[in-house]
Structure 1
Amino acid sequence: MVAAAVAMVDELGAESLTLALLAGRLGVKAPSLYKHVDGLADLRAAVTVESKRELAGVLERAAVGHGGAEAIVALADAYRAWAKAHPGRYPMTIVAERADDAEDIAASSRLYAVVAGALRALRLDGEDEVDAIRALRASLHGFVGLEAAGAFGLPDDVDRSFALMVADVVAGLERRAAKDGTPAG
């Protein structure tokens, strides 16, 4: 059932997810879905967790075998590609985990760990690591969000702009790490 909801969100967007529509697609009556979920909020939570898990897996695979700036670039490219391939689910991955949902906490923690791992070469820790993750995440989300909204109307190469943005963010993080006495290497 969650797989069908995931497919529906990918096709129609998160706002289109309803129990009635999902039941129709599954060829069952809507009340029968309550054997599996407590309601629409529970179904949305399940789709969110599955989306975060999938994105974390994609990012993990992208970063494997890369270190330093290469890992961050590979992760950024995979992030953008996943967001473009899953425009309905992507917005569900950017929300903070729900404190009362162990599965969401685990999926969100996995996403955090993947990004932290890609940034590991910068040797940032504590607040510096959090700041670096926030900067990278905000940059990627801003670009992906603008791109999805069709906001890049100029004829220039959007892929080139993305690559330059990622390179600039990485360079900035590397400069900050060196300034803090933790040279990347």
Structure 2
Amino acid sequence: MRRSLALPYLRWCLACAIEKTGRKTLLAALFPIILAGYWQAYLTPENNQLIADNAGLRQQLNKPLTVFPQRENNALTLQRALNDTEYQQVKTLFDIFQQNHLQVDGSHYQFNKKGKNQQRALALTIPLQGEWINLTRSLNTMSKSLIFSVDRLSISRASPDSAHLQINLQLTLNLASRLEPS
């Protein structure tokens, strides 16, 4: 019996609202509310997935990881060992870290032996300090402009509630001896 009263009551309330505001005004006012509700319902699964991914990352970061000892390197020696184009690629790598607020604590490099038909490569060990999001942004930017592969990534932090990380990144940078047209 109560259901039969609810529908006519809602119709009466809607008719009163339309009479007071006008049909166009009422629809214009309801449109953002309906759109916000749809948007929230659409983004809820993605938002839940991101929260779960972040929880998984936090759990992984709670585990202590090994960090290699820092090694000293002379930038002038590296510049002499590379031609201008190759040195520019290495400089770009370090500029990307600086732009993304990662502190580089020195680096160690070693040239990989070239075989037949292989591109010249430089193995780099780079100790960094910074936050996780800055590291991911740096790697994403590097993937757009440089040819490299991450050989090893070790991360540690002083305390579980700290966002500041000690990062040791080992990567192999494939060097282009000259710029080739795209």
Q: Structure 2-normalised TM-score?
A: 0.25
Higher helix fraction: Structure 1 or Structure 2? 1
Richer in strand (by share): 2
Larger radius of gyration: 2
With normalisation by structure 1, the TM-score equals 0.24
